[in-house]
Structure 1
Amino acid sequence: MSVPQYICLNGQKTKADQPLLMADNRAFRYGDALFETIRCIHQIPLFFEDHYQRLLSGMSMLKMQTHSLPPIEIMREQISSLINKNRLFGDVRVRLTIFREDGGLYTPNGNKANYLIETSGLDTHYYTLNSKGLLLGNYTEDNKSINRFSRFKSANSLLFVLAGLFKKENRFDEVLISNEKNLIIETLASNLYWIKNGEVYTPRRTSGCVEGVMRKQIITLLINNGYKVVEVEGTSINELLAADEIFISNAIQGIQWVVGIENKRYFCKIVKDINRLLNDWAANYLMDFQEN
């Protein structure tokens, strides 16, 4: 018999298969919501300070009341409690969604925020590098705007939905996303990096890419380990085709390496070393957290 799964809405656990939202929910009607996806190991959310701070920054930008969100330690405890309630004993994916209270049309009636925590199990422990490299396509039907919303993960995701359909229809593993200047800045669900002559390149935050929590960790650990990191305004297909290696990153999967774009095939040498450094980085985070 399968174990009933639970979600946590504003601190209260309820069965995941029970009705949850009203028809005038603003996340449903207007995409008036932000979210974070977080990897947890031993019920500990990795790099949670960065996830939490990004949520607070996004809430402030959207004029949601930041005090609607519990303090970081209480939120961390609620995540751990829900993982335990759902009897998830391995690594866990957590989605934390923040949405404005119901009411109003385009103009909200209020700015109080609600929060929803969801959990699901992962098949891997720590950040396991994909054994089979990814094949990337290039989504060019729509471009991502460069604005103050670009760096956050919001419920306004139609561009990514259509890019996901393009990926599925063309049987790609992942697809590239461009900004309004027609510069490639990220992929459907990850930040983007390419390596040329031992140097690591990645689009800077002002390019319109998501200000990824994992991106922050990777840039820091690369610099700390002697790699030269070059942040640029974006890139082109031709520049990516000239790269030696390409990889992408997000908070759940860590690093994934790319084997091909069009007819070009890539190595996975430096990327393996970076993935090892990332796992050491995560292990040190967990050790420091447990000691404190």
Structure 2
Amino acid sequence: MVNYNGNLVGNDSSFLNHENRGLRYGDALFETLRVKQSGILFWEDHYFRLMASMRMLRMEIPMDFTLEYLNEQIKQTLQANSLSNSAARVRLTVFRNNGGRYLPQTNEVSFIIETEALDSEEYTLNQRPYEIELYKDYFLAPGLLSGLKTANKAINVLGSIYAKENGYQNCLLLNVNKEVVEALHGNLFLVQGQKIKTPPLSSGCLNGVMRKQLIELLKADDTYQLEEGTISPFDLQKADELFITNVIAGVQPVSKYRKAQYKSIMATELIHRLNKNLEKLSSD
């Protein structure tokens, strides 16, 4: 079952048409959420990022589009798909309603909620070989629009095809200044000694929810020096460790980039801390 504007409809239902602005122009935003026992992890961060993104795209936010309303709609969709007591992945898509060409006839919006089961309620560390490469066919433009989760993800699609064709598990994207920005589906962190570095939002990277959680975790620990700073391709080969973050996988360690091979010490520690914090939140 899929939730379309608060109505539960079958997966095979035709409730969108050729005039959909998400289809025509990528005029849509989405949030990918991880759910544990019907509780949405980091829900407030997702919600406020979505609201800020809608304002930036001049979408009209409905009066009933509250934190509580969308939370309830997500729970109803999970229940309809027998996922209320399971780990699940949820995609919440918001798009501007039909009408107009580049200039929309309205700024009113609709939404879709989709769900699918996940294997584990806790974050687990994937220790399988995970090789990456730079994707250099196209570049991101640094700026706030690049940091939004819009439906216009052509570079991520093409980069994913390139990775599959060449036997890589992921690729890193560069901006027009040839700075490393992020991975195809996650933010990038680099570890060198006691220093941990991640690209700044000004580079064009996604304002990731998991990125925010880990920055807060690391800032609370005096053991490490955290820096939001530019990363060059040359920096990658000097690193002790690289890892990629998103709310579904949590922390994904990179094992190899070209001739460089990496440890996963920090990634292992962060997965442990993350799960511990989530257990504490669940018991509070």
In structure 1, what is the equivalent of residue 257 of structure 2? 261
| Partner AA of 1:16 in structure 2 | N
What are the equivalent positions in structure 2 for 1:128-139 lying under 5 Å apart?
128-139=124-135
2:46 to 47, 51, 68: 51
Alignment partner, residue 118 of structure 2: 122
TM value normalised by structure 1: 0.94
Is the 2:144–2:202 contact (alpha carbons within 8 Å) kept by the matching residues of 1?
Answer: no
Do the aligned partners of 1:92 and 1:119 also contact (CA within 8 Å) in 2?
A: yes
Q: Determine the structure 1 residue equivalent to 2:226.
A: 229
Give the 4+ runs in structure 1 shifted more than 4 A: none
Residue by residue over 1:92-145, the C-alpha shift from the partner in whole angstroms, topping out at 9 and shown as x without a partner, is 000000000001111100000111100000112221110214111110010011
The Cα of 1:68 is off from its aligned counterpart by: 5.7
Q: Which residue of 2 aligns with 1:278?
A: 274
Q: Shift in Å at residue 170 of structure 1?
A: 0.6
- Matched ranges for 1:175-194 at <5 A: 175-194=171-190
Give the secondary-structure state (helix, strand or coil) at the position aligned to 1:140.
strand
CA–CA distance in 2 between the matches of 1:49 and 1:14?
A: 27
Aligned residue number for residue 26 of structure 1: 21
In the aligned structure 2, how far is the partner of 1:260 from the partner of 1:10?
Answer: 44
Consecutive unaligned residues in structure 1, runs of 5 or more: 1-5
Specify the SS of the correspondent of 1:209.
coil
Q: 1:130 to 1:69 in 2, by over 3 A?
A: farther
1:72 and 2:46 aligned: no
Q: What are structure 2's unaligned runs of at least 5 residues?
A: none
Are residues 151 and 68 of structure 1, via their aligned partners in 2, closer, same or farther at CA, if it must alter by over 3 Å?
A: farther
> What percent identity do the matched residue pairs reach?
37
Bigger shift: 60-69 or 12-21?
A: 60-69
TM-score by length of 2: 0.96
The partner residue of 2:213 within 198, 213, 217 is 217
SS of 1:141 mapped into structure 2: strand
Aligned equivalent of 2:32, options 29, 37, 50: 37
CA deviations on 1:219-253 (whole Å, 9 max, x unpaired) are: 001111332211103x1222111100111100111
Give CA deviations for 1:135-159 in whole Å, capped at 9, x if unaligned.
1111001001112211111011111
Match of 1:12 among 7, 31, 38: 7
Give 3-state SS (helix, strand or coil) of 1:67's partner. coil
Partner of 2:56: 61
Alpha-carbon distance in 1 for matches of 2:259, 2:5: 49
Aligned partner letter, 1:167: A
**C-alpha distance in structure 2 between counterparts of 1:118 and 1:142, whole Å:** 30
- Structure 1 pair 228–83 and aligned structure 2 pair: CA distance change class (3 A): same
Task: Tell me the amino acid that sits aligned with residue 98 of structure 2.
Answer: D
* CA distance in structure 1 between the partners assigned to 2:81 and 2:236 by the alignment: 42
Q: Deviations over 1:60-118 (max 9, x none)?
A: 01110112662111111111121111012421000000000001111100000111100
Offset from partner CA, 1:39-70 (integer Å, 9 cap, x none): 00001110010101111111101110112662
CA distance in 2, matches of 1:266, 1:154: 32
Contact persistence 2:34–2:88 (CA under 8 A): yes
Equivalent pairs counted in the alignment come to 282
Query: 2:101 corresponds to which residue?
Result: 105
Q: 1:287: Cα distance to partner?
A: 3.2
